[in-house]
Amino acid sequence: MRRLAILGATGSIGASTLDVVARHPDRFQATALAAHRNVDALAQLCLRFRPQLAVIADPACEAALRERLAGSGCRVAAGPQAVLEAAAGSHCDTVVAAIVGAAGLESTLAAARAGKRLLLANKEAIVMAGRLLAKALEDGGGELLPLDSEHNAIFQCLPPRHANLAAAGVRRILLTASGGPFRGRTSAELAGVTPEQACAHPNWSMGRKISVDSATLMNKGLEVIEAHHLFDAAAERIEVVVHPQSIVHSLVEYVDGSVLAQLGNPDMRTAIAYALAWPERVEAGVAALDLLKVARLDFEAPDLATFRCLALAYEALRAGGTATTVLNAANEEAVAAFLERRLPFPGIAQTIDRCLNAVDSQPATDLDVVLDADLTARREAQRIIASL
Ligand SMILES: NC(=O)C1=CN([C@@H]2O[C@H](COP(=O)(O)OP(=O)(O)OC[C@H]3O[C@@H](n4cnc5c(N)ncnc54)[C@H](OP(=O)(O)O)[C@@H]3O)[C@@H](O)[C@H]2O)C=CC1
Ligand SMILES: CC(=O)[C@@H](O)[C@H](O)COP(=O)(O)O
Ligand SMILES: [Mn+2]
């Protein structure tokens, strides 16, 4: 029986994970569920899945959650320290890291250090602190399985236990991008787009922050950096291909000309079920892929001049050190401002660009350096946003 802590249980990944868990009560058990402020949703999940531990990150919500779970047998805890306990405690052997944004960094590191099987959705953590996460995994002796659909696809297309990409005969990693809701639009057409339009992803149903990232192509930029760390791949070996149908989830090209791809309907339960059951496979509730209905698979080059965030992510990756921490922090601040209608859509890329120029990159030697770069970049981004 796999005993799971699900961090970000009330979100989109949390819901998909619990759907897979519910299909296999003989294999998977949710032993801890954590969320930020959504007491109603968390309480309902706890009453249904009966975890040992329910954690609400915002201490102001503790009393309300205690009231809702009184007599349920579920222990309630609150605050950031309690989220770390949910990630590292003995109640679980597997952690689903599905908190959105930098808020998930420390619990992701805690799970890695504690030697858990880490199912990583929280891509911002690896973008902010890829090397620290690798070290934490090494120290803890656990394993990481990617949930992000592209990285899960690449993982499936690589040979098991390969020493490195060169030894495995890999020439390139091809990350597919849907292009988002604004694919094909010009810069002028993007000036007045709304948060509602940006969050209307053509293929995937996801949280608002990642939906905006897909619309700017920053999601793909974060994923290039994620692939760099997960697969020890140089930036030059990671190429982005726009594939509007989101059926091919990514590909690996080998030196002999073979290209292996993983295909499926755009439903995160496939990647989640794969990672939960690995190395076995379990039913995920996902409809069979009907290629005749899909009929065609299109591919095109990304428009880096219009969707500048992807180019900025490559720049930050090449700069190294805390540049990717700065990229992530500026993006989080800019996306929040856009969602609150304080910043127009093109202002997201402008903020990140200016922030990368304003904040020097440092070697990401420890967590304090990373957190300091994150804070400095957020202050700078807020200043830039106010000036735009
Ligand atoms: N959705 C998807 O299909 C995919 C998502 N991802 C990645 O997975 C992560 C989650 O995405 P998604 O599920 O869409 O996001 P959602 O916005 O749907 O959910 C976010 C979750 O994080 C919780 N949360 C937010 N802040 C905190 C905090 N400070 N402490 C504890 N919990 C917190 C929220 O709790 P509350 O409800 O209480 O606010 C909620 O449970 C992101 O990093 C995203 O990039 C990757 C690939 C695909
Ligand atoms: C489901 C998933 O993994 C998302 O990251 C998805 O890839 C977003 O789609 P885009 O290709 O539009 O960024
Ligand atoms: Mn993805």
**Omega before residue 266 within 30° of 0, cis:** no
Q: Ligand 1 pocket test: which of 206, 208, 218, 332 has the largest number of ligand atoms within 8 Å of its C-beta?
A: 206
Q: Of all atoms in ligand 2, which is nearest to the CA of residue 219? A: 13
253-282 pLDDT, tens per residue?
A: 999 999 999 999 999 999 999 999 999 999
CA-nearest residue for atom 3, ligand 1, is 206
Distance CA(359)–CA(373), nearest Å, equals: 8
CA-nearest residue for atom 26, ligand 1, is 36
Q: What is the pTM of this model?
A: 0.98
Return the pLDDT at 285: 98
How far is ligand 3, taken at its centre, from the CA of residue 148, in Å? 5
57 touches ligand 1 (CB under 6 Å):
yes
Query: Is 209 annotated as a binding-site member?
Result: no
Ligand 2: residues with CB < 6 A are 148-150, 177-178, 180, 204, 214, 219-220, 268
pLDDT band at 205 (very low <50, low <70, confident <90, very high): very high
43-102 pLDDT, tens per residue?
A: 999 999 999 999 999 999 999 999 999 999 999 999 999 999 999 999 999 999 999 999
Q: What percent of the chain has pLDDT over 90?
A: 99
How far is ligand 3, taken at its centre, from the CA of residue 147, in Å? 8
* Average pLDDT estimate for 310-320: 98
Please report which residue ranges of the chain form alpha helices under DSSP H. Answer: 12-23, 39-49, 62-69, 80-88, 105-113, 123-140, 149-157, 187-190, 195-198, 208-216, 218-231, 268-277, 291-294, 308-319, 323-339, 346-358, 367-387
Q: Of all atoms in ligand 1, which is nearest to the CA of residue 219? A: 45
Q: Ligand 2 pocket test: which of 150, 217, 247 has the largest number of ligand atoms within 8 Å of its C-beta?
A: 150
* Average pLDDT estimate for 166-174: 97
Contact predicate 181/212, CB 8 Å: no
Dump the DSSP string for 145-196: EE-SHHHHHHHHHSPTT-S-TTTTTEEEEEEEE---TTTT--HHHHTT--HH
Q: Ligand 2 pocket test: which of 147, 149, 335 has the largest number of ligand atoms within 8 Å of its C-beta?
A: 149
10 touches ligand 1 (CB under 6 Å):
yes
Q: Of all atoms in ligand 2, which is nearest to the CA of residue 152? A: 3
Distance CA(114)–CA(117), nearest Å, equals: 9
Residue (of 82, 76, 111) closest to 97 by Cα position: 111
How far is ligand 1, taken at its centre, from the CA of residue 58, in Å? 15
- Flag whether pLDDT at 364 surpasses 90: yes
Return the pLDDT at 264: 98
CA-nearest residue for atom 5, ligand 2, is 148
Distances, alpha carbon 82 to alpha carbons 57, 125, 133, 150, in Å: 7, 18, 20, 31
Contact predicate 42/69, CB 8 Å: no
219-253 pLDDT, tens per residue?
A: 999 999 999 999 999 999 999 999 999 999 999 99
Distance CA(377)–CA(72), nearest Å, equals: 43
Dump the DSSP string for 102-121: GGGHHHHHHHHHTT-EEEE-
Compute the radius of gyration of the chain from its Cα atoms.
20
Distance CA(254)–CA(159), nearest Å, equals: 11
CA-nearest residue for atom 45, ligand 1, is 210
pLDDT band at 208 (very low <50, low <70, confident <90, very high): very high
Return the pLDDT at 29: 98
- Flag whether pLDDT at 163 surpasses 90: no
Return the pLDDT at 261: 98
Chain centroid offset of residue 347 CA: 23
18-38 pLDDT, tens per residue?
A: 999 999 999 999 999 999 999
Only one residue has tokens 């959105």, namely 100
Distance CA(328)–CA(377), nearest Å, equals: 9
Distance CA(115)–CA(139), nearest Å, equals: 8
How far is ligand 2, taken at its centre, from the CA of residue 175, in Å? 10
Nearest 10 degrees: Cα torsion 306, 307, 312, 318: -100
Residue (of 138, 127, 158) closest to 370 by Cα position: 127
**What is the side-by-side strand order in the sheet with 248-254?**
238-242, 170-177, 248-254, 259-263
Average pLDDT, the chain: 98
- Flag whether pLDDT at 145 surpasses 90: yes
The tokens describing 50, both together, are 């009966």
Query: Is 10 annotated as a binding-site member?
Result: yes
Distance CA(270)–CA(263), nearest Å, equals: 10
- Flag whether pLDDT at 161 surpasses 90: no
Distance CA(342)–CA(352), nearest Å, equals: 15
ipTM: 0.99
The tokens describing 367, both together, are 């967590």
